Amino acid sequence: MIDRYTRPELAEVWSDHARFEAMRQVEVAASEEMSDPTPAELDDIRAATFTVAAIAERELVTDHDTAAFVDVLSASAGPAGRWIHYGLTSSDVLDTGLALQLRRVGELVLPDSRRLVEALVARAREHRHTLCVGRTHGIHAEPTTFGIKLAGFAFEANRNARRLERAFAQASVGALSGAVGTYASTSPEFEERVLGRLGLERESVSTQVVARDRHAELLLSIALAGAGLERLATEIRHLARTEVGELQEPFAAGQKGSSSMPHKRNPIKSEQIAGLARVLRGNAQAGLENVVLWHERDISHSSVERVILPDSTILLDHLQRRAIALVEGMVVNEQRMRENLDLTHGALFSQRILLALVGTGLTRDDAYRTVQRLAQLAIDDRIPLRNLLAVDPAGAGLDLDVIFDYRPFVRYADEIVDRLDAIA
């Protein structure tokens, strides 16, 4: 992933050095669980080192990066190096090392998943009574509160955080089962001991590789989290439009919205989230394609994973941090929200009028057509619907103060927002 979106800590986890270091840890743990090396030889194995440059140079000969890594590490250990990679195959070291990397990535990424939930919960509670328009199909529907809106996003973020926790956990598994997964040169007990040293769970049955549905599940969970972030970003983008003006992204001192138009304050953070979420979905599709391997193993997945696992986890980290800053810093224009309630001149109360007319004895269809006619007239001629209903025969006897009252729309706002207590 390009530096623009990459936190240094994650760049380090996915560096070539970190990948080989994870593999080194696997090789050392395996050697420590063998009965053959002497204590002195184990000390030499633990002290063995490598450089990425040396491995790259050796790979020019081997045309196999794991073999090159083993050669360099073994040479560094001296005579004791003969025990390095003893009885193992490439995937034993590659997949178990990858599990160590994924576990570390989870440690870095998951805390911000929870921080996003907390940020949404805080803003939802802050605006539990902030009246605003609810929209369906992009058209004004009935009033809601901005807090209720944000509460829905908070619960979605919580579901995504929990999915990510499960996905990282189930992908952080190792295997040391040999060439086709039969432990011909090792044993299940040896595998269990080595993985115990590394703090990893064991793949139940590894053909030679850890099954790639695990990595696909992680990538799908990341893509789903990205979709949730995009849904939030899309809502913010819509509400930030000039014609709506209910929200504004945080705008720092010295920031410029446009190179040519000084008045612009564009929703660039939301747009970036929406754009990069597409990359996450594309990578998830590649992860699904990686599930199908030939027989016990091929390497069609390997080159793909070198791109999609670092890129997806780095982008998830970036988008989460972007979203947290967006939620915490967004400017809520409560006055504009109230003004927008009047754009349809009272048509937002159409269902309450409909129900009141049905209560007087009209059929539902007759009541519906009456309200439809009056509401459209209010919108077209910019006449308050209440005034039209007051002089229409259908409105005779109706209590307009009761009908044109915002309180019924938000009477359960506290109860709905208080449900956040379960996840906060």
Under a CB-based contact definition with an 8 Å cutoff, are residues 185 and 178 in contact? yes
The vertex-144 CA angle with 412 and 127, nearest 5°, equals 80
Phi, psi of 377 (to 5 degrees): -65, -40
Give the residue numbers annotated as catalytic, written as ranges: 137, 258
Extract the tokens encoding 16: 């070539």
Q: CA–CA separation, 158 vs 32, rounded Å?
A: 41
Q: CA nearest 314: which of 268, 280, 267?
A: 280
- Bridge partner residues of 332 (DSSP): 247
Interatomic CA distance for residues 345 and 403, integer angstroms: 14
Strands 201-202 and 173-174 come out as parallel
Whole-angstrom Cα distance, residue 199 to residue 180?
24
**Residue 60 vs residues 67, 68, 71, 73: alpha-carbon distances, Å:** 11, 9, 12, 16
Which residue spans within 146-265 are E strands per DSSP?
173-174, 201-202, 247-248
Rounded-to-integer distance, Cα 136 and Cα 293, Å:
45
What are the tokens at 268? 């660039």
25/40 Cα distance (integer angstroms): 18
Secondary structure (DSSP) of 11-68: HHHTSHHHHHHHHHHHHHHHHHT-SSS-HHHHHHHHH----HHHHHHHHHHHS-HHHH
> Counting beta carbons within 10 angstroms of the beta carbon of residue 404, is it exposed (0 to 12), middle (13 to 18) or buried (19 or more)?
middle
Q: Are 50 and 72 in contact (CB under 8 A)?
A: yes
Going from the C-alpha of 396 to that of each of 134, 350, 393, 408, the distances in angstroms are 29, 16, 5, 22
Residue whose token pair is 């519906």: 368
The CB-side HSE value for 29 (13 A sphere, CA atoms) comes to 25
The single residue listed with the structure tokens 């599709």 is: 285
DSSP state of 253: T
**Tokens 């295997």, located at residue:** 175
Contact between 348 and 386 (Cβ < 8 Å): no
